[in-house]
Amino acid sequence: MYRSTGFISFLLRRISGVALVIYLALHMWVIGSVNQGPEVFNARLNAVQTPIFKLFEIALLAAVVYHAFDGIRLLIVHYFDVTDKRKSLFYAAFAIAAILTVAGGVPILMFMLQG
């Protein structure tokens, strides 16, 4: 089996993509209820406001950021002849995603711990 950067990026992209689709469904379920009156909305919102969901939120952030930068990387590969730099490009996308996840995740964590 090939565990190359290409494969890892592919796998992570898939996982994050599918995770995002699931989140999207959830998100629509919550926000969509806004027109069904405050009770429904608040009930649904509360269901996704538990601390465990805050952790999920970090994962969500990681997924979005990784998926987005991997997507940018792919678009670059499509439109410029840069296959020679394939490893560096992956590391770069991954690093940026990691930094942004930490930058966004730490405040979420602190927010969660505070209240």
Partner 1 sequence: MFDFIFKRETPEAIKKGNKAIVRIQRFNPEVDEKPYMEEFEVPMTPDTTVLDALHHIKTEQDGSVTFRRSCRHAICGSCAMNINGSNDLACHRPLSESLDYHGKITIKPLPFQPIIKDLVVDRTTFWAQYMKIKPWLIPPDDIPEKEFRMSPEEVEALHNAETCIMCGACYSSCQVVGLNKEYIGPHALLKSFLRTADPRDSIPGERLEIVDGDNGVYRCHTIFNCIDACPKNLNPTEAIETLRKLAQKRLAYEEAREERQKTLNEPIREA
Partner 2 sequence: MRTFQLQRYSAIALLIFLTIHMIVVHYPPFHIDFSRIIERLDDPVWKAIDIAFILAVVIHALAGSYMVLTDFQRVGKYKRVLAGLAIVLGVWAMYYGTVTVLNFTPPV
Enumerate binding residues for ligand HEM (CB under 6 A).
13-14, 17-18, 20-21, 24, 67-68, 71-72, 74
Q: Looking at this protein, which amino acid is placed at residue 19?
A: A
Interaction between residue 56 and partner 2 (CB under 8 A): no
Of 8, 11, 42, 91, the one binding partner 2 (CB under 8 A) is: 42
3-state secondary structure 34-96: HHHCHHHHHHHHHHCCCHHHHHHHHHHHHHHHHHHHHHHHHHHHHHCCCHHHHHHHHHHHHHH
Of 4, 7, 38, 50, the one binding partner 2 (CB under 8 A) is: 38
**What's the min distance (Å) between Cβ of 9 and partner 1?**
8
Q: Which stretch binds partner 1 (CB under 8 A): 40-48, 79-87, 97-105, 106-114?
A: 79-87
Q: Which is nearer to partner 1, 52 or 78 (CB)?
A: 78
**What's the min distance (Å) between Cβ of 21 and ligand HEM?**
5
Residues recorded for the chain: 115
With a CB cutoff of 8 Å and minimum separation 6, the contacts of 23 are 60, 63
